[in-house]
Structure 1
Amino acid sequence: MRWRLFGQKRTRMSKAFTIIVFTVLTAIFSVSCSRNSDVLVTEVGVSPPSRRSAKTSKAEKFYLQGQAQHVKGNSQAAIASYTKAISLNLEYGAAYRSRGLARFDTGDKQGAIADYNQALRINANDAEAYNNRGNARASLGDNKTAIEDYNEAIRLASNYAEAYNNRGNARAAQGDRKGAIDDYSQAIRLTPNYAIAYNNRGNARAANGDPQGAIADYNEAIRLNPNFAPAYNNRGNARAVNGDKAGALKDLQQAAAIFQRQDNKDLYQQVMNNIQELK
């Protein structure tokens, strides 16, 4: 029986099952770069607009306008606003970094990398730019270079839980399951309510032949975020591997219901296909 799940890499768990786990990166605001299940899904950070004085420069006004547009999901408008901010201040590192996030969201990963490069030219100590460039490189399959970026982000900000989580994703993609588990564990130590890191560590443990450890992590991810559909989906697969067909079916049905409420037709259909296979 083959299971079609979501995301990054097919991992052999037993002779009976081939599982593709849904692995996510993390930051503040969730924006998916693609609905194609073969593309790495990531969450990219967009800081909410902050209050500024009446003396805020014109460039800063365009920058804040771009942030507000990106938060609302209008990435193209955000790119235009960030571009105007940059045209008024060519050394505006934060605007380059934010435009990189918006470009990544539209699927322009090379454009995003070019913007992160500019942000790092202006400020070589910008840990967030290293982390985000790592995300873009990982989404292009360049996990080796992505890990170098995450390493630099962690060197600059040792408590950067997101960078540990993201490096764990890249290590998992390279087959370094122990390194991935170590990174997810460190992310969880730094941020104990990090549901995504629990989910990702569960994926790594499942791939490492530890379905019970995986289920424990998925349990915690669901406790922290009861609407985390991928964790239900992944726990369902781990339960199926563990011989718990009833528990697996219940989890897959819950994942399908959440994806349906979210109007995510692609992932809903994939879970429904899994349910039919399980039956």
Structure 2
Amino acid sequence: MPKYLSNPVQFLATPFVNINNIAQVYDGALSGWSRVVRRLLLCLSLTYLITPTIFPVEAAPVESWLTNPKDNGSSREIDKIAVDSVSETGRQPTHSMRYDCCVLVAEKQTDRPVNSARDEIGLLAVAQNALSEARSSLRSGDADAAEQYYAQALNAFSQVIDTDPTSAEAFLGRGLVFRESEQNTDKARDDFTKAISLAPQWVEPYHQRGEINITSRQFALAVDDFDTAIELDGANPDLYFGRGVALLLQNNNDAAIMSIDDLNKAISIAPQFADAYSTRGRAYALLGDFERATNDYEMALKIDPSNELAMRLKMRLEEHLRNLAEN
């Protein structure tokens, strides 16, 4: 038996291998196949083996939010830990979760083992999953289940905060629970503000605090939050929509005109954004442009026939026009 058949692993590991010997291996193993097919398979195999050596594939670069000078190259490993830690939930970790994991190990708390960071992001995943289940239960009309899931989420987020008071992800999540379950805007705003102080370049806490400020009728503060969020992410239609709502609710013509500009931008980014059409229609109605308002309401209903905002505003406008006609 030829040497390359008696020990194929050693043979293939040899730095300089005679191509004819490799061909003989293929010919012997695939003797029932035609010579053309055997040679084609040989070429494909060699390409597979040689290409990584000639053209090495570089690992994906670490995201910019993991460029910590004290990280010493550990961010890739920790990023993998973050992914592995939440894989059982079927949910990918957010940038903040992976960043927190990296910082815990590499910079802020170097005395904490990797397992501690793994536990933390795992608990964050549990909290996020409970929050998602609570929302699902509300949509399906099961208020009791939603209450239980919100309680689980609140407990998990609070545990993370107790362990690591620098977790922006946990403060954001707990703020969402306060906002959605207890309707406690003050606690929610405080948590969103804390998340902003911990992660000033993270868009979502500004977005959520802006929404809270709209609910609290603090429209100027809401506009400020959306201004900052848009500076950080100018391609997010929800941010233009939120600022457009905050402007429109100031209930004056100048603000309504600026609102239309924002809603135009939201629609240009997301042409199927039904609520943006509905809200722009309301702005046109405030300015007395009833034709454009009607067109926007109809477009919103064309996109989403069950859009309650569009239906309600359209009915209100039709009633207003009837009253004008009668008088």
Question: What TM-score do the two structures reach when normalised by structure 1?
Answer: 0.65
**Structure 1 vs Structure 2 CA RMSD:** 2.7
On the 8 A contact 1:93/1:118 being kept in 2, the answer is no
Matching of residues 159-198 of structure 1 within 5 Å: 159-198=201-240
Tell me, which stretches of 5 or more residues in structure 1 are unaligned? 1-51, 71-87
Q: Report whether the alignment pairs 1:271 with 2:310.
A: yes
| Distance in 2, Cα, partners of 1:168 & 1:231 | 17
| Distance in 2, Cα, partners of 1:159 & 1:91 | 24
- Write the deviation string for residues 6-61 of structure 1: whole angstroms up to 9, x where unpaired: xxxxxxxxxxxxxxxxxxxxxxxxxxxxxxxxxxxxxxxxxxxxxx99xx89x975
| Distance in 1, Cα, partners of 2:212 & 2:88 | 33
Report the counterpart of residue 103 of structure 1 in structure 2: 130
| Distance in 2, Cα, partners of 1:60 & 1:178 | 39
**Structure with more relative contact order (C-alpha pairs < 8 Å, separation 6 or more):** 1
| Distance in 2, Cα, partners of 1:269 & 1:227 | 16
Report the counterpart of residue 133 of structure 1 in structure 2: 174
Report the counterpart of residue 64 of structure 1 in structure 2: 87
| Distance in 1, Cα, partners of 2:200 & 2:85 | 32
On the 8 A contact 1:91/1:122 being kept in 2, the answer is no
**Structure in which a larger fraction of residues adopt helix:** 2
Change (3 A) 1:103 1:269: same
| Distance in 1, Cα, partners of 2:211 & 2:187 | 13
| Distance in 2, Cα, partners of 1:114 & 1:106 | 15
Question: What TM-score do the two structures reach when normalised by structure 2?
Answer: 0.56
- Write the deviation string for residues 122-178 of structure 1: whole angstroms up to 9, x where unpaired: 322111111121111112321111111111111111111111111111122222111
Which has the greater radius of gyration? 2
C-alpha displacement of 1:89 = 8.5
How many residue pairs get aligned? The number is: 202
Q: Percent identity?
A: 26
Q: Report whether the alignment pairs 1:249 with 2:291.
A: no
On the 8 A contact 2:85/2:122 being kept in 1, the answer is no
